[in-house]
Structure formats: C-alpha cells, structure tokens
Structure 1
C-alpha cells in the first residue's frame, strides 16, 4: 500500500514538474520576449504590492517590443505595446476580441452580468440598448443638475478650506452626487456635506480588505477560482442598497403616466429594457438590471473623482498653466455674460479640454485594456496565439512613450492643442479605450469634469502645501487595479476674489 502511494505521489510530482516546464518554456519556444515566470504566480508577483498600471508601464519601458509574453499564474497571456496591433485587436479584428477576460462568478450575478464583465451576445444587446442614454442630446437634459452640483463644490471649499481638503474624497463626493441624481434620481448632498446614503455605498466599494483584494485580483486574472471561493465584485451591503433603490423605482415610476415616454435617466432606460425583455420573453432578471446601475456608478464616480484630483494637483505645481486656464475661462465668462455655461460651450473650450486630455494621458484610470481571443489568432508572421488567450493593450505604456509624447512625465496640455493634437499617432492615446467596447460613459464623464473644473478654477487659485509630494512622487494605489492616488493629496485653495 505504501509503495502504491509513493508511486502515485512520484507520478503526480513528475506530471507537475513536466507541466511546469511546458509553462515556463511557452513563450521562449515561440520567440516572444518575456521575463521568467514565478512558479506559483507567473508574472503576477506585483499584485497587492504595485498598481497594475504602474507595472504595465514598467513592463513597456523594459521591453521596447510590439508584444510581451506574460503568465497569469500558469496561463499564457500577451501584452500589446504596438499601436498597429492595438488597432487590430480593438477595432479591425474586434469580432475576435469581443469579450473582456475579467469575469464575475455565477454566485455573484451583479458582478457577472454588468456591462463591464458580461460576455457576448448579452453584452452586444445591453450595450446597444444603453447607448442611446448617453448621447449628447440626452446628456444635455442633465446639465442644470451637474452645473448646480459643481457650484456646491465652491461652497464646500469655502467652508472647509482652512482645515485642508482631501482632493479625491472631495471630488468623489461630487461625482457620486452627479451620478446618483442624474442617473438614478436619488437625492444626494455629499458635495456640500460629505455624507449621503449613496456616498456610504461608494465608500464601501473601495474599502480594502485582504479578502476583497484577492477577490478582485481573481476576477481580473484568474476567473476560474471566483466561483470556487464565491468572491463578489461589490459588497453585499452595496448590492442590497441598489436592489432597494430599484424596487422603489419600479413601484414609483411604473405608476407614472409618463413612464411609456422616452427615458429621462439611466434608471428609466433600465426599467424600459426590463419591460421590453419581459414582453419578448427574454426575461432579463432584476439582478441583470441592477448590475448595470451598479457598474455605471462604481465605474464613474471613482475614475472621474481620481482624475479631477490629479489634474487639480498638477495645476497647483504648474501656476503658469493654471493662470492660462483661468484667463481662458475668465474671457469665456465675460463673452457669455456669466459662468452658467452650457455643456456644448464647455465641449468647445479647447484649452479646458486640452488640460483634461493631458490629465487622462498621465492618469488614465483604466490604464490597460483586456480582451480574450475567441479563436486562434495570427498576431504577425512570427506569432499565432491560441483561442482563449488573454490580451492586454498597454495604453499607459504608450501614453508614457517619449517617441509618442516627448518628456512624458511633464504635464503639458499643449500636446492636445488643435495644431498639435492632429500629429498624435493613432492608437497611442486611448484613455477611454477604442472600438466597440469604448467607454459608454465617456461623454458623461467629460461633462462632469468640465463643469467641476470651471467652477473651481474661476473661483480659486490652488497652490501646493509644503508637506505634500511633487506630482511625479505621488504614490499610486499599490493594491488597486485602477490608477488612482494611493495617498491623501491636498492643496491650498486661495479665493480669486
């Protein structure tokens, strides 16, 4: 008996060793540049120690090659560093790369069925139906709400400026309010007070624990274990809140005689989708509808809030750029007769948008774009990847490539002036992604940021605080997937009048 057990163990060890040798040599056999994998984590030794975007940037700088081989534990994957290959993956051959690799589990319908993680054909259907909600015409209806909230930012700063303000927290209060009111019709006062029921939910989204960190890493890099350990994308308290809001909305809005008209906000659009699916016997579950609301809030409030914090901080350290922006906005205000700009006017403000675009270049919240190949795919004459291979387009790597953006650590909005922007090489600048899966909330996010920046920089000058790091020394959230500040960053707000 002992002999049989010994033989079985030896056979298992031998199989494991041979399997490991095959994994270790996978990219070498194909002539693909790579770093030796860790026997357990593969290339993912950076997890919980270094932000994924920072790691992507360093991999780009280490390998100035069109692609790099990596391992997600023992699964081979490919990083794309080439704008030409990025175009193929994201646009030309997007039919082969319809799905993201990231995935939720069957035990977590809110995490699995949302627009960010759901697979085709469900993704195509829900994306097509939701796109009309984010058109310029539909968003124009929301401009008064967003403008009002942006002015509340000025009131909040006036009240709290002497105590020091956590920039990301301040802007997250604002973006939570904007999304809560304009998308879901939920009354929110976090911009003024720092507190609201919905703000408690978004704060819960980003609370770190070892278990949540492992869960998020699994969803992004090892989805097979998500069901095994029953990991959830959102905390239970958050999903319970969304379900409660959804049930209340159903009861209230279905009783409204105008309910059959055009959707007024995102929640109206979701309710309409649910009704139409029931009529067609498609029967989208309530969880499916709630999942879309949850991901749009979680994906919008933190990314926009982080970006506003980064841009404000950069301008504090570049007073000449800040003054240029102020003079530009002041002139626009004088021409308009007030600072009550429309969303169309803001969209046409070239220098304001150049500042935002440069912020997006340096601090793209989703700094890489994941896809999975549906079939065997010929990358070039030397390499064909197998069906099921994850592919990562290294957006932030290209954003910091001096061949595309000279002196890339410098904050320089003039890169995006009308005369310079036309020279930017296609597919080297992709803060919202490209192709069919380009960010659905791009217009909404930009409008939210424009209103906030106009209110802030027409009313305040921001200057550095002595104990704060320079922009280049800011710690990026080491345990995070998204590119956001890993430390408190603050500035001094000095009233303009």
Structure 2
C-alpha cells in the first residue's frame, strides 16, 4: 500500500516537472521571442557562481543583439532581457510607474538587508527616497570641499609613504580606504583615518563587505535571482557580525546627536536626514522603525565606498597602460591648476574639465559597476506591437551589453576617453550609456560618487606618474569575480606610482 502511494506521488511529481519543463521550453517561443538554452531546474541561471552576471549579460547581448529582447527563465520565473535603448527608456522612465519595483530583495529574517533603498519595494521605497534626496543636492555637496581636500592630501601622503616602504599597492584596498573615509565623515560625521593607515571602525566593516565566500556568493545570487530562497536558507545581505557591529556604531552616533527624538533639520548629513525621516514619519503616523534607519545607513556606506573605489581602481589601471591619455590628463589638470592661481580645486572646477570627465565616463562605460537594471512588471504590459508580458515578469535592461556594442561605441573593448569629449558626446545615443541607472530609481548618490572620484584622480595624477608593473594582466585580460554580482576583478590589481618632480 505504502509502495503504491509512494509510486503515485513520484509519478505525479515527475509528470508535473515534465509539464513545467515543456511549458518553459515553449513559453517564449510561442510568443515569437528568441530564447537561449534552458535547464529544467535552473532555467537560464546555470551560469551563477560560474561566471560574473555582468559577463553573462554581455554574452546574451552578443548572441541576440539583432533582437530588441530575449526571453530567459530566472529559475522557474519568466524574464525578459531588453537589448534596446528605446525599450530601456520605456521601462526605466516613460512607464516607470509600471516598473517601480525590483526582483532583488532580502528576506523577513534579514530586516537590515530588506529595508534599504537598494532592496525595498514601493511604497516604502518612494517614502525613503523622497526624504533622503535633500542630502544629495549640489549645494549640500559644495560644503564638503574641505573634507575632500583633507582626504586627498592624506591619499597622496599614503602613496608616498608606501613607496618609501617598498609596499606594493593594492589599488582596490587603497581607494577603498579613501572612499570609506569620505562616506564616513560626510554621511555620519565620524572622524576616519583609513586613508592614512587602512584602519578604523568603518573600514573594518567595508573590509568585511569585500569578502565573498562561496556561501555569501550563493546568498547574493539568491537575493538577486531567487529571493524566495533567502529565508529558507537563512541568507543575509551582510554578514551578521558586521550587522551587529554597525548597530552599535549607529547607536553611538545617534547618542552623540542627542538621541532619536532630538529635533533635527535633516540638512547636516545623511545621519541627520535619517533621523529627520523617522521623526517626520512618526508625525504622519507612518511606521519607520530603527531597522530602516540602520539598513539605509549601511547601504550608503557600502554603495558609496564600493562604487567610487572600483571606478578609481579601473581608471588608474587603464591609465597605467595608456600613458598618452595620462599625459593629456596631467596637462589639463596642470593648466587648470595654474589658472586658479594657487587655489585648490573645488568640485565645480573639476566638473568643468572635459578630459578628466571623459576618462571617468569611459572607465564606467567599460567597467559598469552593475551590468544590468532589473524591474518587475506590476501589471500586464505591452512591450511592442508583437509582445505583451504578464504581471510579475522580471525585465532586465542589459546596460553592459549596450555599453559594449560596437554600433553605439566603436571598438568597445578599447579604452577611448575621447568618446565622451564635448564634441563627441552628442553622438552617444540616449539610454546606451547608463552607469548610474535611469529614471526614478537612478543612483541617488551619483554626485557624491563623481566628486569622490574627481578629487582623488586629480590629486593622484598631478603628484604621480602611474606605470604598469611588469608581468601584470593587460586591462582586457582582467577576469571578473564570479561570486559577486558587481563588476569586480577576481585578482588584485596593482600599479607603480612614481613621484613627479
């Protein structure tokens, strides 16, 4: 009797799996949408933990670049990869109200990972975004000039000291130290010294952020592509000991400001804005618990330091292999410095230097921090006259694919900053260059990231010649870390900094 029951259950499961498999194979085909090979259990996600998702997105784009979209299976969930700038605009901007949420999320057992601007859905996302926008205005950032100047002075001295000691520079670590200080002091008012000595409470945290074990890699893969498994497997966005540590730091910071209930205007820094956000929400009878504040403080720390340090790392590495561009940048900076008559660069000065900004933009074109932008359709949506997708379908805008399409950027594997000079940038087709995202969910910290990179790059190039080290990988040979979701190198990148006379 039991054997018969077991046989029946197994038969039903096998039949269900078979029908599900046949549905997956025919779903996009019946809609006239091209689709690559799929696995009966993993769908199109067999690449996870085998190659970087950004690399996989680029391969999908190259294979189906003649089609504006490609059907995929995110495990057993239908997904659509968008390869068209026109459709990218539709999804990210024109019809953003249909695509307000992302698939990415953490679980109920991980409140700090689930309640920040990066992972949370509407309506909480809109509330947080609206309340924090005031921190990132141009006028607010102008007040950070002295901080930037102090930290780039420390950065130059750090490189000189390392040279004297014969220390081989790890570019990622060096610029992570600097960027952690910028975020720590500008956002939380904490005095940080990581640029000088790679230490401090916040740097201890960002060093933990950089560690991706096999388990953490699986956790992040789940959050990005199969969030239903996060609670089942007990994954968390950040290591638990890091969360516990930051809770203590956050409590100390709040106590120094006079506590959660002390009235603030929200204009001082990110911490001030978070406190004001909670106070305003309580006045409006909205739920805004402490976890929301801590979660958003942590995501700004990670997002702020990680993106800026990665950009600086790749810029210096490319300049080491392109001395002609490095010399051109040095001359632009030197001439601009001379015109200032001894005054230090300010953010507005650096924003007006065409070649400096061209180098920055070309780097984040070639090395976008995240290679795609995911959105979930809240209702049935007509993509074009041929295709309507169902509510719940996840859509991936293939940013890295368009960044590296020779139709939009000739010789895309070459580092060519002149693409973004004023006389050429007009030829860049809208929505083919999206390093900070587009639309309502575009990166809120864009201006901070730009300033952090500009100040550091100007100081480094004016004081040092950047040279490649014998035996190091050529830029195009850099492998991307397969455990991470972001476009991070799998190996240490190092250069020589030679002091200029």
TM-score, with normalisation over the residues of structure 2? 0.97
Deviations 1:222-279 (A, max 9, x none): 0111111221101112222222122222222136999534521100110111122222
Aligned to 1:102: 104
Does 2:148 align with 1:150? no
Matched, 1:45 2:49: no
Instruction: Name the structure 1 match of 2:124.
Output: 122
Aligned to 1:243: 247
Structure-to-structure mapping, 1:292-371, within 5 angstroms: 292-338=296-342, 340-371=344-375
Is 1:205 aligned to residue 209 of structure 2?
A: yes
SS at match of 1:437: coil
Aligned twin of 2:29: 28
Q: State how 1:432-451 maps to structure 2 within 5 Å.
A: 432-451=436-455
Any idea what SS the aligned residue of 2:97 has? helix
* CA–CA separation in structure 2 for the residues paired with 1:442 and 1:434: 11
Distance 1:190-1:368 versus aligned 2 partners, 3 A rule: same
**1-side partners of 2:266 and 2:114: how far apart?**
28
Alignment-derived partner of residue 164 in structure 1: 168
Whether contact under 8 Å (2:134, 2:267) holds in the other structure is no
Match of 1:190 in 2: 194
Contact 1:53-1:482 at 8 Å conserved across structures: yes
| Aligned residues between the structures | 497
Structure 1 unaligned segments of length 5 or more: list them. Answer: none
Contact 1:253 1:259 (C-alpha < 8 Å) held by counterparts: no
- Cα shift at 1:206: 2.1
Q: Of the candidates 175, 194, 198, which is equivalent to residue 179 of structure 2?
A: 175
1:388-439 CA-to-partner distances (Å, cap 9, x unmatched) read: 0110000010010011000111111110111100111110000000000110
Which of residues 200, 216, 219 is equivalent to 1:215?
A: 219
TM-align CA RMSD: 1.4
Moved over 6 A (4+): 255-258
1:86–1:427 contact (8 Å) kept in structure 2 = yes
- Of 140, 161, 168 in structure 1, the residue corresponding to residue 142 of structure 2 is 140
Out of 21-30 and 403-412, give the one that drifted further: 21-30
CA offsets 1:14-68 (integer angstroms, 9 cap, x no match): 1221111112221111111111201221111111111111111111111111011
Is the CA contact 1:306–1:485 (under 8 Å) kept in the aligned structure 2? no
Most deviating of 199-208 and 89-98: 199-208
Query: Which residue of the partner structure matches residue 392 of structure 2?
Result: 388
Partner-residue secondary structure (3-state), 1:78: strand
Q: Cα deviations across residues 182-207 of structure 1 (Å, max 9, x unaligned)? A: 11112211111011111110111121
Contact map agreement 1:303 1:484 (CA 8 A) in 2:
no
Q: State the partner residue of 1:80.
A: 82
The offset of 1:485, in angstroms, is 1.5
In the other structure, the counterpart of 1:260 is: 264
How far did 1:484 drift?
A: 1.4
Structure 2 vs 1, CA of residues 15 and 316 (structure 1 numbering), >3 Å: closer, same or farther?
Answer: same
